[in-house]
Amino acid sequence: MLPEHLLLGILEDFGCVACRILVDLGASLDDLRSRAESQARAQNAGAQTGLHMTAEARNAIDLAYLASRQLNNTYLGTEHLLLGLVQERGGRIKDLLLESGIRPAQILEAASALQKPSAN
């Protein structure tokens, strides 16, 4: 499993928090899906088949857990996984989002904003 596969999993649920963040930041989910699929195919060329998780994907999940903790959450949500993916040292997902005009800081800001109680 590659980081691209994690992003593709997020993009399967248009109603999830991460997708709402991406849409609010101006991303085309269909475009992201298409580019992530192409990138995954290129990365998978000649790779092992099966459910082997790459070090990059494992690291992204670890970073997602840290993002959840830093936001004082008691759960691991799609927004945390998205944050983990853009912080992963390989940078392929971060680059994919940068190509769409989305910076990691914007994702963090949007995820942080979700933590604040609404002023009614």
For tokens 């004082």, what's the residue?
Answer: 72
Domains and CATH numbers, the chain: 3-113 (1.10.1780.10)
- Check residues 67 and 90 and name the one with the higher pLDDT: 67
Q: Supply the pLDDT for residue 57.
A: 94
Confidence label for 115 from pLDDT (cuts 50, 70 and 90): confident
Please say if the pLDDT value at position 120 is more than 50.
no
How do residues 22-76 score in pLDDT, each as one tens digit?
999 999 999 999 999 999 999 877 555 567 889 999 999 999 999 999 999 999 9
Measured CA to CA, the distance from residue 24 to residue 19 in angstroms comes to: 8
Q: Supply the pLDDT for residue 52.
A: 85
Measured CA to CA, the distance from residue 3 to residue 72 in angstroms comes to: 24
Q: Supply the pLDDT for residue 96.
A: 95
* Sign of the Cα pseudo-torsion (20, 23, 27, 30, in order): positive
* Mean of all residue pLDDT scores within the chain: 91
